[in-house]
Amino acid sequence: MEEMPCPHAWVVLKSKNLTTDNYYSNLYKSEAVVKTYDVPVYPLPDESEWKIPASISEEIVLPLRYKRPPGRPKKKCDKPLTELLPNKYSNSCSRCGHEGHNRCSCRNEPRRK
């Protein structure tokens, strides 16, 4: 991937007394490194001397609408269908007939037949 032999290949090349110049990319040779510095690099002038086009200087940059909260995002779990639908059945007491409790926790008077 890097156009260089792996460490195992280097050991084999050294043990066979082969030159390693033919086995890696020209980007890693000293001539290529020297060529990168052939072109002079000039520093930027002072900020007061910059020439900025009017279309860019008039452009307004607004901040983001929302800020991403810190931490790992929470999982978005899908709820089962039974949890989304309203409960059809509720507890009804066999003693008084009211809903919401059962016979063991009933405090109402027994219903009359």
- The pLDDT of residue 113: 63
Q: How many CB atoms sit inside 10 A of residue 77's CB?
A: 6
Residue 13: closest CA among 23, 25, 27? 23
Averages of pLDDT over runs of 10 residues in the chain (113 residues) are: 78 87 82 87 88 90 89 83 72 83 84 71
**pTM, two decimal places:** 0.29
Q: Which is nearest to 93 in space by CA: 85, 101, 81?
A: 101
Which of 37, 9, 36 is CA-nearest to residue 22?
Answer: 9
Beta carbons within 10 angstroms of residue 95's beta carbon: 15
Give the number of other Cβ atoms within 10 Å of residue 23's Cβ.
Answer: 13
